[in-house]
């Protein structure tokens, strides 16, 4: 594993990890979830090495090794994460062979934001949905509404950024990321339901992307249940879409949830990801 510093096209430095494999002509670009540092995906990257792929991961600005000294007053938004930060890692990956994308949650949103996503060979996306609480089980829906309507607003008012670590939801987030997340999660199809984006070049990228994409969702992933996934991925109008619904019992585990896809207990799923990449 090699620690890298990539430079986004606006000059921002990004922390990345490269998992090179000698003589490999294929590479997996790992697109993390919101508030999740890239180190969480290390075992998955090594599993891709074992299947003949190099791998690279990146921390978006404001997260992990791409975090500034002070989050208060620091600007980032989701479009910067996808169009600029993930794009910098994509540009690096293309120097090392055919590129496949493995995404988690926001990774399935960032995929469509990439300026040249059509150059990807295929994508394997876990836990992506619209984030809309109406698709969640009743108890989870109440928790999420409490987060968006009380806890997070108070936290951001106090800190000047979103202290997600207070609530056990990964790392703290820049204010702009929190604002995008909260705003679009109030809509059944996330940003596809945003009237301000209707007909925009941003949305057109999703509509026009025509690569193979597998969307993998656990039936117990309360933030991205299959119904939530289907509402969002309808925006990938030309993609060759495969839907995979996961049952924890099929993996002899009690729970997958929103984070379990990339935990060691799900190594069999990683093999399925590599199989999918091999097919394309």
The β-bridge partners of 126 are 104, 216
pLDDT band at 151 (very low <50, low <70, confident <90, very high): very high
Which structural domains are found in the chain, ordered by start?
2-279 (3.40.50.1820)
Sign of CA dihedral 168, 170, 176, 178: negative
Give pLDDT tens digits for 216-275. 999 999 999 999 999 999 999 999 999 999 999 999 999 999 999 999 999 999 999 999
- Dist. CA 39–CA 51, nearest whole Å: 20
pTM: 0.96
């Amino acid at each position: 594993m090699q620690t890298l510093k990539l430079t986004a096209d606006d000059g921002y430095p990004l922390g990345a990890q490269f998992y090179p494999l000698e003589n490999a002509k294929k590479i997996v670009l790992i697109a993390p979830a919101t508030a999740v540092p890239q180190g969480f995906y290390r075992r998955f990257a090594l599993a891709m090495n074992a299947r003949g792929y190099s791998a690279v991961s990146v921390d978006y600005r404001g997260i992990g090794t791409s975090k500034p000294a002070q989050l208060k007053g620091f600007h980032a938004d989701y479009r910067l994460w996808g169009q600029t930060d993930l794009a910098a890692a994509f540009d690096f990956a293309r120097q090392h062979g055919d590129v496949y994308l493995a995404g988690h949650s926001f990774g399935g949103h960032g995929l469509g934001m990439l300026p040249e996503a059509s150059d990807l060979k295929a994508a394997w996306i876990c836990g992506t949905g619209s984030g809309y609480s109406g698709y969640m089980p009743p108890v989870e829906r109440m928790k999420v509404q409490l987060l968006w309507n009380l806890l997070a607003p108070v936290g951001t008012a106090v800190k000047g950024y979103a202290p997600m670590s207070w609530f056990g939801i990964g790392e703290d987030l820049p204010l702009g990321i929190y604002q995008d997340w909260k705003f679009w999660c109030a809509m059944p199809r996330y940003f596809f339901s945003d009237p301000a984006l209707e007909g925009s070049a941003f949305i057109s990228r999703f509509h026009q992307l025509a690569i193979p994409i597998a969307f993998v969702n656990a039936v117990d992933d309360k933030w991205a249940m299959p119904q939530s996934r289907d509402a969002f991925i309808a925006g990938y109008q030309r993609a060759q879409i495969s839907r995979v619904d996961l049952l924890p019992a099929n993996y002899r585990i009690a729970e997958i949830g929103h984070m379990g896809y990339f935990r060691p207990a799900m190594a069999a799923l990683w093999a399925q990801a590599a199989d999918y990449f091999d097919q394309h």
